[in-house]
Amino acid sequence: MGETARENHDRVLEQAAEWQRAGEGVALATVVETWGSAPRPVGSQLAVRADGAFIGSVSGGCIEGAVVVEAQDIIESGAPRLLEFGVSNSQAWEVGLACGGRIRVFVERVG
């Protein structure tokens, strides 16, 4: 058994560092608070490359798309943002968590 099975869970920061060493713009999204039946615990991370490639997760797949778009913006601007997602919380991009949970995600540029 190699590293592949664990790759998606544990290598988010390693991947972020590798992308950055390769000269790519990188952002990091981190779950900082959850309420209700949030799919991923506090501390879960997603690294995003400027072209939209990503590794890791901050939800069960519900909001990754929206976070990646925000992250690409933040790679440009450099200003960190705190995002909130919830089933009843209609964000501009109209994504939410079908599970009824709510989460806050901090997104920042790396480097």
Residues contributing to the site for another protein (CB under 8 A): 1-2, 5-6, 9-10, 13-14, 16-17, 20, 28, 30, 32-33, 41-43, 79-80, 82, 106, 108-111
- Indicate the residue among 9 and 51 with the shorter CB distance to another protein: 9
Give the Cα separation of 5 and 91 in Å (integer): 34
- Amino acid present at 20: Q
Least distance between another protein and beta carbon 110 (Å): 5
Element (DSSP H or E) covering residue 54: strand 54-56
- Indicate the residue among 40 and 68 with the shorter CB distance to another protein: 40
Give the Cα separation of 101 and 9 in Å (integer): 21
Least distance between another protein and beta carbon 33 (Å): 6
- Indicate the residue among 5 and 94 with the shorter CB distance to another protein: 5
**Beta bridge partners of residue 89, listed in sequence order:** 86
- Indicate the residue among 2 and 94 with the shorter CB distance to another protein: 2
Least distance between another protein and beta carbon 67 (Å): 16
Give the Cα separation of 44 and 102 in Å (integer): 14
Nearest 10 degrees: Cα torsion 36, 42, 44, 45: 110
Q: Which tokens is 58 given?
A: 């901050």
Least distance between another protein and beta carbon 63 (Å): 18
